[in-house]
Structure 1
Amino acid sequence: MSEELDRLARAAVPEVLAAALERAREQAVARLADLLTDAIVAQALAGAPPAPAPAPAQDETDGEALYAYGITPAGLPLPEEVQALTDGGRIDRVAAGDLALLVSHVLPDELRIDEDDLSETGRLATLARGHDAVVRAAAASGPVLPLRFGTVVPDETAARRLLEEHAGSARAQLRRIGDNREWGVKLVRRLDEPAVLGPRPVDRTGVSGTEYLARRRQALRAREDDERSAAGAAELLEEALRPHVRESLRRGGSPGSSLLLDLAFLVPPERESAFLAAAAELREKLDPDGLEVEVSGPWPPYSFAALEPGDA
């Protein structure tokens, strides 16, 4: 029976491996497109959690189109000393009322990518960093509502229509975001403290039935203790950082995995020092338990911006 199972397992390896690689590729591409940073490129290569996102959109015609970076108040200065997404491009603004769309002219072929190339110097990563650079430059001057990486509109008429269709939602979000910046915080179980994904195996060799059951109950209790400890640390982290932030959202994490908690925070500039100090204090406090607090940022408010149809 054991030999038959081994044979079946070996036969299934190519198919299982191919499926796993495909899932990893999709997850990495999605992560790159969503968060648009050098750090995310590295995380994608290591295998990041899934976040559904399309590849860069392409205009269906062969003519020039407008690549859209984000929505700003109409009076916000254009980003200076920053290049457009594609070579030779210039950052322009299309206004509709009190809102403006930051754009640059682009040819569809300039956005074509090889989704299998996830290197830091690949086309996808280069385009993602270019998008992020423009959004960051705009955010340095005032509130900006970042658009999804790969947003393309055919012309200025379509750009104004986008602004008009989402005017109510965009205005509300720009007021809410203001000059706050996004910071990411992860609570991670160190690699030398392997995650408990299930009851620890119990060796039955030379063990009576009663002793085996006792050991199994002990393993189950140990797992429950680990999960309670991880949940407690996650709750402590959220409570400690909450006084210093405007908004927060949970992006992932589970007590039974190595990534226990993945949070995004919208932090006012005047609270950033206190926020970082609280995170550093937590890092020292949780380190003896084999837990790490990883802080990243600041970013434009990618996690807190979402266009929805609204009344103009």
Structure 2
Amino acid sequence: MSDDRDQLAGPGLYLYGLVQLDEHVPEDLIGVQDEPVRGERLAQVTALVSHLDDGAVVGRPAEVRAHAAVVDTMAGRGPVLPIQFGTTTDDLDGIGSALPAERQQAYVDNLRRLADVVQLSLTARYVQDTVIAELVREDPEIRQLRELTRGRPEVVTHDARVRLGELVVAGFERKRAADADLLERAVVPLVEELRHREVTQVDVVLDAAVLVRRDAVARFEDALEDVAAGVVGRITLRLVGPQAPYDFVEEV
């Protein structure tokens, strides 16, 4: 079975993920290259697969989206273990060889562990103009440098602009520490587990994956609306899901 993340020649079947043995796959579920997705029962789990023409190439953005849509759709119905994008096999025997029965018990255990929860992705971002205005009010040096650089050529204010940028970034980071803690304390009581993702952009306050009980998703969304109301105009919240538990299990 091939698992290269780049473009791959498709020998026969494309694989999406593993679900519980008795999980029903919707008849209208469409996957990579507009092929219908079906379930193939193995010894202890069911593999989600679709047909792939011999010699077909997988790796385009549309196929990445199709793969994710299949896995996330099934995650909304029940637990699913995602298989790495681009994974193909020649035929059904190839699936059985790659996922022998003795390994499937671990997959069964993970599926049971995830049966009552679903992953959601929560991103909080600053409204940049609002936070910059705060920094200008709070920091005399930032205020002075903004006045110094406003309307003047970059060539003569280069050093001042560099210093201003450093101060603004440091200000965002300083505020992020307190605001992320505030948001996290509001969210943690509502979830089963939370995992942070690396923050790489200055305006991101919090980027996290959370596991929420399936029967509590609506209550979590309502509670998050209350949190959002408390930070409106300063921080925006974005919630995505249900998703496959990418952040809580390793891809098969």
**Secondary structure class of the residue paired with 2:62:** helix
> One-letter code of the match for 1:259?
V
**Secondary structure class of the residue paired with 1:111:** strand
Distance in 1 of aligned mates of 2:85 and 2:126? 31
Calculate the TM-score normalised by the size of structure 2.
Answer: 0.74
1:275 counterpart = 2:212:
no
> One-letter code of the match for 1:75?
D
Tell me the equivalent position of 2:81. 145
Residue of 185, 206, 211 corresponding to 1:261: 206
C-alpha displacement at 1:235, in angstroms?
Answer: 0.9
1:77 counterpart = 2:24:
yes
CA contact (8 A) 2:73 2:243 kept: no
> One-letter code of the match for 1:271?
A
C-alpha displacement at 1:307, in angstroms?
Answer: 3.8
Question: Compared with structure 1, are the counterparts of its residues 191 and 226 closer, same or farther at alpha carbon in structure 2 (3 Å cutoff)?
Answer: closer
Q: How many percent identity over aligned positions?
A: 26
> One-letter code of the match for 1:85?
V
Residue of 220, 227, 249 corresponding to 2:173: 227
C-alpha displacement at 1:93, in angstroms?
Answer: 3.1
Tell me the equivalent position of 1:305. 249
> One-letter code of the match for 2:225?
A
Question: Compared with structure 1, are the counterparts of its residues 224 and 130 closer, same or farther at alpha carbon in structure 2 (3 Å cutoff)?
Answer: closer
**Secondary structure class of the residue paired with 1:70:** strand
> One-letter code of the match for 1:71?
L
Q: Which residues in structure 2 correspond to 1:1-312 (within 5 Å)?
A: 54-59=5-10, 64-87=11-34, 89-107=35-53, 109-113=55-59, 124-164=60-100, 166-193=103-130, 200=142, 202=145, 226-253=172-199, 257-288=202-233, 290-307=234-251
> One-letter code of the match for 1:152?
T
Distance in 1 of aligned mates of 2:248 and 2:43? 24
Calculate the TM-score normalised by the size of structure 1.
Answer: 0.61
Question: Compared with structure 1, are the counterparts of its residues 91 and 236 closer, same or farther at alpha carbon in structure 2 (3 Å cutoff)?
Answer: same
CA contact (8 A) 1:82 1:133 kept: no
Distance in 2 of aligned mates of 1:85 and 1:222? 44
C-alpha displacement at 1:174, in angstroms?
Answer: 0.7
Moved over 6 A (4+): 219-223
**Secondary structure class of the residue paired with 2:46:** strand
Distance in 1 of aligned mates of 2:90 and 2:166? 59
Of structures 1 and 2, the one scoring higher in RCO (CA 8 A, sep 6+) is 2
CA contact (8 A) 1:70 1:135 kept: yes
Tell me the equivalent position of 1:211. none
Question: Compared with structure 1, are the counterparts of its residues 223 and 110 closer, same or farther at alpha carbon in structure 2 (3 Å cutoff)?
Answer: closer
> One-letter code of the match for 1:78?
V
CA contact (8 A) 2:173 2:202 kept: no
Distance in 2 of aligned mates of 1:169 and 1:237? 35
* Cα distance per residue 1:207-230 (max 9 Å; x no partner): xxxxxxxxxxxx998876653332
Question: Compared with structure 1, are the counterparts of its residues 137 and 80 closer, same or farther at alpha carbon in structure 2 (3 Å cutoff)?
Answer: farther
CA contact (8 A) 1:95 1:101 kept: yes
CA contact (8 A) 2:123 2:237 kept: yes
Distance in 2 of aligned mates of 1:264 and 1:227? 21
Distance in 2 of aligned mates of 1:134 and 1:56? 19
> One-letter code of the match for 2:179?
A
Distance in 2 of aligned mates of 1:134 and 1:173? 19
